[in-house]
Amino acid sequence: MKTMEEYVRTIPDFPEPGIMFRDITSVLMDPEGLKLAVDSMIDALKDVDFDVVAGIESRGFMFGMPIVYALGKSFVPVRKKGKLPCETITESYALEYGTAEIEIHTDAVKPGQKVVMIDDLLATGGTMEAAIRLVERLGGTVEKAVFLIELKGLEGRKKLKCPVDVVVSYEGI
Protein backbone atom coordinates (compact mmCIF):
# COMPACT_ATOMS: atom_id res chain seq x y z
CA MET A 1 0.00 0.00 0.00
CA LYS A 2 1.36 3.41 -1.00
CA THR A 3 1.54 6.39 1.35
CA MET A 4 -0.04 9.74 0.57
CA GLU A 5 3.44 11.18 -0.01
CA GLU A 6 3.85 8.67 -2.84
CA TYR A 7 0.63 9.84 -4.51
CA VAL A 8 1.44 13.57 -4.34
CA ARG A 9 3.56 14.59 -7.32
CA THR A 10 6.29 17.18 -6.70
CA ILE A 11 7.15 19.49 -9.57
CA PRO A 12 10.37 21.47 -9.04
CA ASP A 13 10.62 25.12 -10.07
CA PHE A 14 6.90 25.64 -10.70
CA PRO A 15 5.50 28.25 -11.03
CA GLU A 16 8.90 29.88 -10.54
CA PRO A 17 12.47 28.81 -9.72
CA GLY A 18 12.95 27.54 -6.17
CA ILE A 19 9.33 26.45 -5.63
CA MET A 20 8.56 22.77 -5.08
CA PHE A 21 4.94 22.55 -6.28
CA ARG A 22 2.90 19.80 -4.56
CA ASP A 23 0.49 18.61 -7.24
CA ILE A 24 -2.68 16.84 -6.09
CA THR A 25 -3.92 15.98 -9.57
CA SER A 26 -1.88 12.78 -9.26
CA VAL A 27 -3.94 11.96 -6.15
CA LEU A 28 -7.23 12.69 -7.91
CA MET A 29 -6.32 10.59 -10.96
CA ASP A 30 -5.61 7.46 -8.93
CA PRO A 31 -8.66 5.76 -7.34
CA GLU A 32 -6.55 4.33 -4.51
CA GLY A 33 -4.86 7.67 -3.91
CA LEU A 34 -8.17 9.51 -3.82
CA LYS A 35 -9.64 6.92 -1.47
CA LEU A 36 -6.63 7.20 0.83
CA ALA A 37 -6.89 11.01 0.82
CA VAL A 38 -10.61 11.07 1.64
CA ASP A 39 -10.39 8.24 4.19
CA SER A 40 -7.46 9.99 5.91
CA MET A 41 -9.40 13.25 6.13
CA ILE A 42 -12.45 11.40 7.49
CA ASP A 43 -10.19 9.70 10.05
CA ALA A 44 -9.06 13.15 11.23
CA LEU A 45 -12.72 13.84 12.12
CA LYS A 46 -13.49 10.62 14.02
CA ASP A 47 -13.61 12.33 17.43
CA VAL A 48 -15.07 15.67 16.28
CA ASP A 49 -18.70 16.59 16.98
CA PHE A 50 -19.92 18.70 14.05
CA ASP A 51 -22.99 19.51 11.95
CA VAL A 52 -21.66 21.02 8.74
CA VAL A 53 -18.63 20.82 6.46
CA ALA A 54 -17.55 24.04 4.75
CA GLY A 55 -15.28 23.58 1.74
CA ILE A 56 -13.24 26.32 0.12
CA GLU A 57 -13.44 26.72 -3.65
CA SER A 58 -12.54 24.66 -5.50
CA ARG A 59 -10.42 21.83 -4.18
CA GLY A 60 -12.16 22.02 -0.81
CA PHE A 61 -15.27 20.98 -2.74
CA MET A 62 -13.48 17.93 -4.19
CA PHE A 63 -12.57 16.61 -0.76
CA GLY A 64 -15.53 17.99 1.19
CA MET A 65 -18.25 16.31 -0.88
CA PRO A 66 -17.14 12.69 -0.39
CA ILE A 67 -16.62 13.43 3.31
CA VAL A 68 -20.17 14.70 3.82
CA TYR A 69 -21.57 11.86 1.74
CA ALA A 70 -19.75 9.27 3.87
CA LEU A 71 -20.65 10.92 7.18
CA GLY A 72 -24.21 12.07 6.44
CA LYS A 73 -23.48 15.76 6.99
CA SER A 74 -24.39 18.87 5.01
CA PHE A 75 -21.98 20.82 2.83
CA VAL A 76 -21.52 24.58 2.56
CA PRO A 77 -19.49 26.12 -0.27
CA VAL A 78 -17.18 29.05 0.43
CA ARG A 79 -16.62 30.69 -2.94
CA LYS A 80 -14.80 33.48 -4.68
CA LYS A 81 -16.70 36.76 -4.64
CA GLY A 82 -19.53 36.98 -7.16
CA LYS A 83 -20.12 33.24 -7.62
CA LEU A 84 -22.97 32.61 -5.16
CA PRO A 85 -26.52 33.50 -6.27
CA CYS A 86 -28.23 34.42 -2.97
CA GLU A 87 -27.49 36.97 -0.27
CA THR A 88 -23.88 36.66 0.94
CA ILE A 89 -21.33 38.05 3.36
CA THR A 90 -17.76 38.66 2.23
CA GLU A 91 -14.28 38.56 3.77
CA SER A 92 -11.02 39.83 2.28
CA TYR A 93 -7.64 38.19 2.64
CA ALA A 94 -4.10 39.04 1.55
CA LEU A 95 -2.43 37.58 -1.49
CA GLU A 96 1.24 37.84 -2.40
CA TYR A 97 0.33 40.91 -4.48
CA GLY A 98 -2.95 42.48 -3.41
CA THR A 99 -6.09 41.03 -1.88
CA ALA A 100 -8.90 38.66 -2.77
CA GLU A 101 -12.40 38.08 -1.42
CA ILE A 102 -14.44 35.02 -0.57
CA GLU A 103 -18.08 34.76 0.42
CA ILE A 104 -20.72 32.50 1.86
CA HIS A 105 -24.52 32.54 1.73
CA THR A 106 -26.04 34.25 4.76
CA ASP A 107 -28.21 31.19 5.45
CA ALA A 108 -25.43 28.61 5.01
CA VAL A 109 -24.56 28.23 8.70
CA LYS A 110 -27.10 28.61 11.50
CA PRO A 111 -26.16 30.16 14.85
CA GLY A 112 -24.76 27.47 17.14
CA GLN A 113 -23.85 25.02 14.38
CA LYS A 114 -20.51 23.26 14.67
CA VAL A 115 -18.48 23.46 11.47
CA VAL A 116 -15.49 21.61 10.04
CA MET A 117 -13.47 23.43 7.39
CA ILE A 118 -11.95 21.47 4.47
CA ASP A 119 -9.35 22.45 1.88
CA ASP A 120 -6.54 20.79 -0.03
CA LEU A 121 -3.62 22.98 1.01
CA LEU A 122 -2.53 24.91 4.08
CA ALA A 123 0.09 27.40 2.92
CA THR A 124 -0.03 30.94 4.36
CA GLY A 125 -3.44 30.31 5.97
CA GLY A 126 -5.03 33.51 4.67
CA THR A 127 -7.88 31.94 2.75
CA MET A 128 -8.83 29.59 5.59
CA GLU A 129 -8.57 32.39 8.14
CA ALA A 130 -11.05 34.45 6.08
CA ALA A 131 -13.37 31.44 5.67
CA ILE A 132 -13.36 30.85 9.43
CA ARG A 133 -14.30 34.51 9.99
CA LEU A 134 -17.26 34.05 7.63
CA VAL A 135 -18.52 31.03 9.58
CA GLU A 136 -18.10 32.86 12.88
CA ARG A 137 -19.94 35.95 11.58
CA LEU A 138 -22.92 33.67 10.86
CA GLY A 139 -22.84 32.36 14.45
CA GLY A 140 -21.14 29.03 13.74
CA THR A 141 -18.25 27.56 15.68
CA VAL A 142 -15.31 26.08 13.80
CA GLU A 143 -14.40 22.80 15.46
CA LYS A 144 -11.48 21.86 13.19
CA ALA A 145 -9.79 22.62 9.87
CA VAL A 146 -8.58 19.63 7.84
CA PHE A 147 -6.20 19.80 4.89
CA LEU A 148 -4.66 17.22 2.60
CA ILE A 149 -1.28 19.01 2.49
CA GLU A 150 0.54 21.51 4.71
CA LEU A 151 3.57 23.54 3.66
CA LYS A 152 5.07 24.02 7.11
CA GLY A 153 7.61 26.63 6.05
CA LEU A 154 4.84 29.15 5.36
CA GLU A 155 3.50 28.83 8.93
CA GLY A 156 -0.16 29.15 7.95
CA ARG A 157 -1.22 27.11 10.97
CA LYS A 158 -0.31 30.06 13.21
CA LYS A 159 -3.13 32.17 11.71
CA LEU A 160 -5.83 29.63 12.47
CA LYS A 161 -7.57 29.80 15.85
CA CYS A 162 -8.95 26.26 15.71
CA PRO A 163 -7.55 22.73 15.82
CA VAL A 164 -5.80 21.81 12.57
CA ASP A 165 -5.16 18.38 11.09
CA VAL A 166 -3.32 17.50 7.90
CA VAL A 167 -2.77 14.27 6.02
CA VAL A 168 0.78 15.05 4.88
CA SER A 169 3.19 17.86 5.75
CA TYR A 170 6.18 19.16 3.85
CA GLU A 171 8.91 21.11 5.65
CA GLY A 172 9.58 23.66 2.89
CA ILE A 173 7.41 26.08 1.00
Q: What is the pLDDT along the chain (173 residues), one digit of tens a residue?
A: 899 999 999 999 999 998 899 999 999 999 999 999 999 999 999 999 999 999 999 999 999 999 999 999 999 999 999 999 999 999 999 987 789 999 999 999 999 999 999 999 999 999 999 999 999 999 999 999 999 999 999 999 999 999 999 999 999 77
pLDDT of residue 130: 98
Q: From the candidates 6, 9, 57, 96, give the one annotated as an active-site residue.
A: 96
pLDDT of residue 74: 97
Stated pTM of the model = 0.96
Respond yes or no: is residue 133 known to be catalytic. no
Respond yes or no: is residue 137 known to be catalytic. no
DSSP, collapsed to helix, strand or coil, labels residue 18 as: coil
pLDDT of residue 96: 74
Q: From the candidates 6, 59, 136, 155, give the one annotated as an active-site residue.
A: 59
pLDDT of residue 98: 87
Q: Are strands 74-80 and 52-56 parallel, antiparallel or unpaired?
A: parallel
Phi, psi (5° rounding) for residue 54? -110, 125
Q: Rounded to the nearest 10 degrees, what angle do helices 31-43 and 59-71 cross at?
A: 70
- What amino acid occupies position 22? R
**Contact residues for 3 (Cβ-Cβ < 8 A; gap 6+):** 168
Q: Are strands 98-105 and 114-122 parallel, antiparallel or unpaired?
A: unpaired
Tally DSSP H helices, then E strands, for the chain.
5, 9
How far is the C-alpha of 41 from the C-alpha of 48, rounded, in Å? 12
Length of the chain: 173
